[in-house]
Amino acid sequence: MRPPRPPRLASVTSPDTAPVPVNADPACVRSIGVVGGGQLARMMIPAAIELDLPLVVLATAETESAARVSADTLLGRHDDPAAVRALAERCDALTFDHEHVPQEILHGIEDDALSAVRPGSAALVHAQDKLVMRDRLTRLGHPCPRWWEVRDAAELDAAIAAAGGRAVVKTPRGGYDGHGVRIVETAADASDWIADLGADGALLVEELVDFRRELSAQVARRPDGASAAYPVVQSTQRDSICFEVIAPAPGLDEERQQEIQGLARAIAEDLGVVGMLAVELFETADGRVLVNELAMRPHNTGHWSMDGAVTGQFEQHLRAVASRALGDPSPKAPWTVMVNLLGGASEDLAAGAAAAMEADAGVKVHLYGKSVRPGRKVGHVTVAGDDLEDVRARAHRAERLIIGGADAAGAPDETAGPESGTAPRPRTAPQDPTDPRSAA
Ligand SMILES: Nc1ncnc2c1ncn2[C@@H]1O[C@H](COP(=O)(O)OP(=O)(O)O)[C@@H](O)[C@H]1O
Ligand SMILES: [Mg+2]
C-alpha cells in the first residue's frame, strides 16, 4: 500500500485565488490612496510599483504632476468631502501629498471606517495648524522658539515688543514655501492678515530666531510604533524655499545626531504619527536646537534619500502606511547633496537636463513634469560621493545647467556656505495660501 500523501502546506492556494497575508496586521493594507497630485504623490508611484501596492491619486487636474503619470487617478478636490470619500472607498489606506485636507472630512472617513487614515486626523492637525503644533509641543516639553497667539493689532504689537521689536508672524494654516510667513516690526506690517481674521481667528507670532543653520530630522513610524530615523540633514532656504540639502548635516557629532533623532522619534510617538514625519529645526547661534515646524509626509529635505539612502523616503512612507517592515534608512555614501530646481530663465528643462547628464554621469536628475514658473519647484538633482565640496559643486553645476540653460554652466557659484540668519523675507506679492500644489 502506498503511504498517504503528506498534507499540502497551508499556502496551497495560489496568490491569485487567496492572497497569503503579508503581515500580521489585521487591517492589512493592499492599496493606498493619496490625496493631492503634486510631486510628492508622483514620487510615491515608483515605490508603489516596486512594492506592488496599487496607488490611486486624487488630483484636481490631469495636468498635475502625479496625474500625468499615475495609472489610476480620481479627479477632485482635497476639500470636497465626496471626492475624498470616493478615494477612501477605493483603497485600504489614505495618505497625503499635502496637509490641507479639512479635519471634518478626515473625521467622517475615520468614523465610517472607509479606509485607514495614515497619518490619522489627530496627528495630522499638528502639521495643519502651526498654533496647535506650538501649543502641543510646548506642553510636551519639546524645544520651540518663544511664541505668542494674537487676535488683533494690539496683541500683535505687544508680542512684537516682547520679542524684542522684530518678530516672525505666521498664518497658522495653509502656508507653504514661506507663503504665510513674514518678518514684522509693527502690527501694521500684517494688517491684511489681521483684517482677514474671522471671529475665532488668530495668528502665530514667534521670536526671530538667530539661527546658525536649519536642520531637518526625518523618522518613519508604523501603526504599531516601530520607527526608523534618517540621518539629520542640513537644509538651506532661499527666499524661504528649500534650495539645498546636505546629508548628513556637516559637523554634527554622533551624540548630537542621536539627541535630535530622539527628539523626532519622541514627537512621532507623542503625536501618534504614521508614515514619514519631518521635523524642521533651527540650530541656534548659541547651540540649541528648536523645532520650527512639522510635516507628516515625505518632505523636500528627504529627497536626497531616494538616491542616497538604502531606503528612500517615498518607499519608506508607503511601507509605514501599509504597515510593512521599515527599510534601512542608512546613507549609501558619506555625502549626498540635493539641490532643488526652482523655475528660472529656461522653460526648456529637457535641454538643460540633457546637458547636465552629458556633463556628469553621476548626477541624478528628477523632473516633476510641471510647467516652469519663476521660483516654482520643478525638480531636483542629487549627487553622492566621498568629498563634500566636490559633491556640492557638481550638484549646483547641474542645477545651473538645467535651470539656466546650457549657457549657465559658467555662472557664478552659489555653493557658498550656509548664510547665517537666512530669515524669511517680508512678502508683499499676492499669495494663495489655499494652493497646496507647492507643498513639499
Ligand atoms: N521664528 C523664525 N525665526 C527665523 N526664521 C524663521 C522663523 N520661522 C520661520 N523662519 C524662516 O522661514 C522659513 C519658512 O518658515 P516655515 O514656518 O517653515 O513656513 P513654511 O510652511 O512656508 O515652510 C523657515 O524655513 C526659516 O527659514
Ligand atoms: Mg517650513
State mean pLDDT over 275-288: 96
- What is the average pLDDT score of the chain? 89
95 domain residue, yes or no: no
**Atom number, ligand 1, closest to the C-alpha of residue 242:** 25
From the centroid of its chain, how far is CA 72? Answer: 23
Smallest CA separation from ligand 1 atom 24, residue: 240
Instruction: Kindly state whether residue 250 falls inside one of the protein's structural domains.
Output: no
Q: Has residue 328 been placed in a domain?
A: no
Residue 65 amino acid letter: S
Ligand 1 atom with the smallest distance to the CA of 209 is 3
How many domains does the structure of the chain reveal? 1
Average pLDDT of the residues in 19-31: 62
Domain-located, residue 197: yes
pLDDT category of residue 34 using cuts at 50, 70 and 90: very high
Closest CA to 316 of 10, 15, 11, 53: 53
176, part of any domain: yes
pLDDT of residue 408: 57
pLDDT of residue 307: 98
What was the pLDDT predicted at 199?
86
pLDDT tens by residue, 149-181: 999 999 999 999 999 999 999 999 988 888 899
Taking CA atoms only, the protein residue closest to ligand 1 atom 12 is 424
- What is residue 437's predicted lDDT score, i.e. its pLDDT? 35
The proportion of the chain whose per-residue pLDDT surpasses 90, expressed as a percent, equals: 81
Pocket of ligand 1 (CB under 6 A): 145, 168, 170, 175-178, 181, 206, 208-209, 214, 237, 240, 280, 292-293, 422-424
pLDDT at 198: 87
Q: Tell me: the pLDDT tens digits for 252-273?
A: 999 999 999 999 999 999 999 9
CA of 310 to the centre of ligand 2 (A): 26
The string of pLDDT tens digits covering residues 314-343 is 999 999 999 999 999 999 999 999 999 999
Give the DSSP letter string of 156-219: HHHHHHHHTS-EEEE-SBS-BTTBTEEEESSGGGGHHHHHH--TT--EEEEE---EEEEEEEEE
pLDDT above 60: residue 435: no
* pLDDT of the residue at 18: 42
Among 148-152, 196-200, 209-213, 234-238, the least confident range: 196-200
**Is 204 inside any structural domain?**
yes
Q: Please provide the DSSP assignment of 263-293 as one string.
A: HHHHHHHHHT--EEEEEEEEEETTS-EEEEE
CATH number at residue 176: 3.30.1490.20
Query: Ligand 1: distance of its center to the CA of 181 in Å?
Result: 7
Ligand nearest to the CA of 181: 1
Q: What is the 3-state secondary structure (H, E, C) of 387-408?
A: CHHHHHHHHHHHHHHHHHCHHH
Lookup: cell for 209? 530666531
Structural domain contains residue 11: no
For residue 170, the enclosing domain spans 146-208
Task: Name the residue of 168, 181, 206 whose CB sits within 8 Å of the most ligand 1 atoms, as the mutation to test its pocket.
Answer: 181
Output the pLDDT for position 47: 98
Relative to the CA of 206, which ligand 1 atom is closest? 1
Q: What is the pLDDT of residue 191?
A: 96
Count of CA atoms in the C-beta half-sphere (13 A) of 373: 5
Please tell me the distance between residue 232's alpha carbon and the centre of ligand 2 in angstroms. Answer: 16
pLDDT in tens, 85-108: 999 999 999 999 999 999 999 999
Rounded distance from Cα 177 to ligand 2 centre (Å): 6
| Nearest ligand 1 atom, CA 130 | 17
**Does any domain span residue 271?**
no
